[in-house]
Amino acid sequence: MAETATKQRTVKFIITRRERPEAAPYTEEFEIPYRPNMNVISALMEIQRNPVKADGAKTTPVVWESNCLEEVCGACSMVINGKPRQACSALVDKLEQPIRLEPMSTFPVVRDLVINRERMFQALKKVKAWIPIDGTYDLGPGPRMAESKRQWAYELSKCMTCGVCLEACPNVNDRNSFIGPAAISQVRLFNAHPTGEMNAHERLEALMDEGGIEGCGNSQNCVRSCPKGIPLTTSIAAINKDTTKHLFKKWLGM
C-alpha cells in the first residue's frame, strides 16, 4: 500500500520560559503533532516527551504544574493567549494559534510556567478563612443554615485559590497592598456560615487592616475572569458594606 504523503497537522506554541526565579524570561517556539481533543496540558506533556523546538534544536522540557485535570484544583493556572485561565480546560481546538503560554507573573515565577501562590494562602490565614470548632469538649451541633443562604454560599465555596482573579486585577502588584478578590469572597463565605458568623468581626478587622480590602479599585476584571463564575465583585461590595458598618459600630462603641 502506497503511503499518502500528507503533511502531519501540527499545533504551534510560543512559551515564555525562565530557568530560575531571578533569571530573565525568554520565549521558545514549539510545533507538536496535532491529536484530536488536545488540551494545553496534553500539549505540554508532548513537549516533555520530546523537548525539541520548532527549529529542530533540543531544549530542556517546559516545566508546569497540574493536578486534578478537571478545573477544580487551580494548580495549572497560566496566561493562555493573554488571558489567565486553567491549562487543563483550555482546549487546543478552541484556541487561536500560535498558542501563547506565559506564567501568571503577578506571582513570583519559580520556573517556566510554575508560579508561587503562597500570598493567597497567607491571605486566607490572615482573614481566618476557617470555622473554629476545636475545643476540649464536644460543642454539640451548630445552628442550621437556611437553604436560601446555602445556595449562594455554595457558589462562593467553589473558589480553588487558582490566582486568576489576582492576575487579572490591576491593583494586585508590589506597589499596592490589596489582598486580592479571592480572600475577600472567602470572608463573605465564612461570615455567612451560622457557626463562622460567631467570629465575623475578626475576619472583618483583618480586612480593615493594612493589606486588606482597601486597595480594591473596582475594575471588576476579577468577576469577568473567574473560571468558577464566583460573584467576586458582589462579595467585595458586600464586605465593603460589612466593614463600613463595623467601622461605625466601633466608633460608636456599640
Partner 1 sequence: MSGNSYLPRKLHSLLGVIPLGLFFIEHALTNYAAFEGGQQGFVDAVHGIHKLPLVFFLELFIIWLPILFHGVYGLYIAYQSNYNTGRFSYGRNWAFALQRITGVITFIFVFWHVWNTRVQVALGNTTYEELGNHMNGIVSNPVYFVIYFIAVIAAVFHFSNGLWAFLVSWGITVGPRAQRISSNICMGIFVIVSVLFLLSLFAFRSDEFASAAAAFSPVMFG
Residues that bind partner 1 (CB under 8 A): 82-83, 168, 170-171, 173, 175-177, 208-210, 212-221, 224-225, 231, 233-234, 236-245, 247
Q: 3-class SS at 29? A: strand
First-to-final CA distance of the chain: 88
One-letter amino acid at 12 equals K
Residue 28 pairs with which residues in a beta bridge?
15
Residue 37 and residue 45 in contact, taking contact as beta carbons nearer than 8 Å: no
In the bound complex, what is the minimum distance in angstroms from residue 105's beta carbon to partner 1? Answer: 11
Phi and psi of 39, rounded to 5°? -115, 180
Q: Which is nearer to partner 1, 35 or 224 (CB)?
A: 224
Q: Which is nearer to partner 1, 38 or 85 (CB)?
A: 85
In the bound complex, what is the minimum distance in angstroms from residue 125's beta carbon to partner 1? Answer: 19
In the bound complex, what is the minimum distance in angstroms from residue 37's beta carbon to partner 1? Answer: 28
Q: Which is nearer to partner 1, 75 or 213 (CB)?
A: 213
Q: Which is nearer to partner 1, 186 or 233 (CB)?
A: 233
Q: For residue 32, what is its C-alpha cell? A: 507538536
**CA separation for the pair 226, 239 (Å, rounded):** 18
In the bound complex, what is the minimum distance in angstroms from residue 6's beta carbon to partner 1? Answer: 38
Task: Tell me if the bond preceding 181 is cis, omega within 30° of 0.
Answer: no
In the bound complex, what is the minimum distance in angstroms from residue 174's beta carbon to partner 1? Answer: 10
Q: Which is nearer to partner 1, 47 or 184 (CB)?
A: 184
In the bound complex, what is the minimum distance in angstroms from residue 208's beta carbon to partner 1? Answer: 5
Q: For residue 89, what is its C-alpha cell? A: 480546560
Q: Which is nearer to partner 1, 97 or 244 (CB)?
A: 244
Q: 3-class SS at 15? A: strand
**CA separation for the pair 79, 168 (Å, rounded):** 10
Q: For residue 133, what is its C-alpha cell? A: 470548632
Q: For residue 205, what is its C-alpha cell? A: 478587622
